[in-house]
Amino acid sequence: MATITFPTGKDISIEVNGQKMAVAQSYKAKTTKTSRTVEAFGSREPVGTIDGRVQHQLELTRVRVLQGIQDPVDFYQLSGFNVVIARPDRKIIYSDCQWSSIFEAASAEDLLFETVTLVAGKRMEVLP
């Protein structure tokens, strides 16, 4: 029987220069490609397709900035960071990330970003 595991807060992290600076409770990832068809004069159907640009969009929920990191980073100034999702069989790394929207909430203990939407320049999978 196969075991299904879901990522947890310790498995989804935001890294800057290899240092984990925040963790997320969950994520959604959407990858789109702007491909198109090639038309030929007089043909009723396309004669082929052309590869388009790939865009990765992520939505992280309940992002918590880690306490005690050596160089605290202003989250709103972040640019070119990585999102790392650790799974039992592989790591998924979204690199060259830029945030596009942040919904923030604060509690007495610490800062929590309810939702962070970002785009990534590249996605790669690393096997153990």
Tens digits of pLDDT across the chain (128 residues): 444 444 555 689 998 888 888 899 999 999 999 999 999 999 899 899 999 999 999 999 999 888 766 566 677 888 999 999 998 889 999 999 999 999 987 766 666 888 999 999 999 999 97
Q: What is the pLDDT of residue 16?
A: 86
Burial of 46-84, coded b for 16+ CB within 10 Å and e otherwise, reads eeeeeeeeeebebbbebbebeeeeeeebebeebeebbbb
Does the predicted TM-score (pTM) go above 0.95?
no
Q: How many helices (H) and strands (E) would you count in the chain?
A: 0, 9
The answer to whether 31 and 39 have CB atoms below 8 angstroms apart is: no
How long, in residues, is the chain?
128
Q: What is the pLDDT of residue 3?
A: 45
Q: What is the pLDDT of residue 70?
A: 59
Q: What is the pLDDT of residue 75?
A: 79
Distance, in Å, from the CA atom of 73 to the CA atom of 69, rounded to the nearest integer, reads 9
Q: What is the pLDDT of residue 104?
A: 85
Q: What is the pLDDT of residue 110?
A: 63
Residue 94, Cβ density class (10 Å: 0-12 exposed, 13-18 middle, ≥19 buried): buried
